[in-house]
Amino acid sequence: MKVVRVAIFASGTGSNALALIKKAQRLSGIEVAFVLSDQEKASVLQKAQEEGTKTFIVTRKTDRNFQEAEILELLQAYQIDWIFLAGYMRMLSPAFLKTFAKWHGDASQVVNIHPSILPNYPGVDSIRRAYQDEVFETGVTIHLVDEGMDTGRILQQESLIIDPQESLESFSQRMHQLEHRMYSSFLESLTKDRKTFYFEGKM
């Protein structure tokens, strides 16, 4: 079976990126070809390098098209099959998503992980907002990426009950553990069956 080649896009800490890299190291049939960041100082870069994973920095340009053109060149050069967003703080344009889908038989192969049960709490600070609202439970979503903010088709969700006695710090930690487990097992699932989600944007 062909090796599935993954690129991870991340802007920050990189705990999800690290979990994916470590999972891929234990699997055959999948390879994290590189980690890409738009932030020169993101600690994800060091984490990836310590695991022997290639990293690239493509900083923001005044025109998003220039940044995305550079990224598309990398994706093509490394024959990337799937993009995993892991705390990547930049929206991808419809043109970018369309081009990447075209390379894969019009299939959407860009996913994101988000710390809430979407459509609740999209955007930033979702764990803290849910905690402060004292909701009974929140959770984690893996979804396809479209041009909106956390609006793509939902692929998987798991919920987590907030213990009212628990600190925000401890709850956040449990949320991140759940993210790492879910994203790693989604990665692993790509080695088992070919998933096809047809691109729903305009071709």
Specify the residue, 17 or 75, whose C-beta has the smaller distance to ligand GRF.
Answer: 17
Among 9, 35, 43, 19, which Cα is nearest to 178's? 19
User: Phi, psi at residue 8, to the nearest 5°?
Assistant: -110, 130
Token duo for residue 14 = 């990189």
Q: Percent helix, strand and coil across the chain, each rounded to 5?
A: 35, 20, 45
How many residues line the site for ligand GRF (CB under 6 A)?
13
By CB under 6 A, tell whether 113 contacts ligand GRF.
yes
Specify the residue, 96 or 143, whose C-beta has the smaller distance to ligand GRF.
Answer: 143
CB of 62 to ligand GRF, least distance (A): 25
Scan residues 161-180 and list those touching ligand GRF (CB under 6 A): 179
By CB under 6 A, tell whether 14 contacts ligand GRF.
yes
Which DSSP category does 76 fall into?
Answer: H
Crossing angle of helices 15-25 and 43-50, rounded to 10°: 20
Answer for the pair 48, 16: CB distance below 8 angstroms, yes or no: no
CB of 171 to ligand GRF, least distance (A): 12
Map residue 124 onto helix, strand or coil. coil
Active site residue 114: yes
| Residue number of the CB atom closest to ligand GRF | 87
Site string for ligand GRF, 54-93 (x = CB under 6 A): --------------------------------xx------
Which is catalytic among the residues 114, 143, 176, 180? 114
Which stretch in 15-23, 61-69, 152-160, 163-171 sits in contact with ligand GRF by CB under 6 A?
15-23
By CB under 6 A, tell whether 117 contacts ligand GRF.
no
User: Phi, psi at residue 110, to the nearest 5°?
Assistant: -125, 120
Which stretch in 1-9, 14-22, 101-109, 161-169 sits in contact with ligand GRF by CB under 6 A?
14-22
Which stretch in 66-74, 91-99, 107-115, 154-162 sits in contact with ligand GRF by CB under 6 A?
107-115
Which DSSP category does 42 fall into?
Answer: -
| Strand (E) or helix (H) holding 31 | strand 30-37
Per the rule left: phi > 0, alpha: psi between -120 and 50, beta: everything else, 36 is beta
Q: For binding to ligand GRF (CB under 6 A), which residues are involved?
A: 10, 12-17, 86-87, 113-115, 179
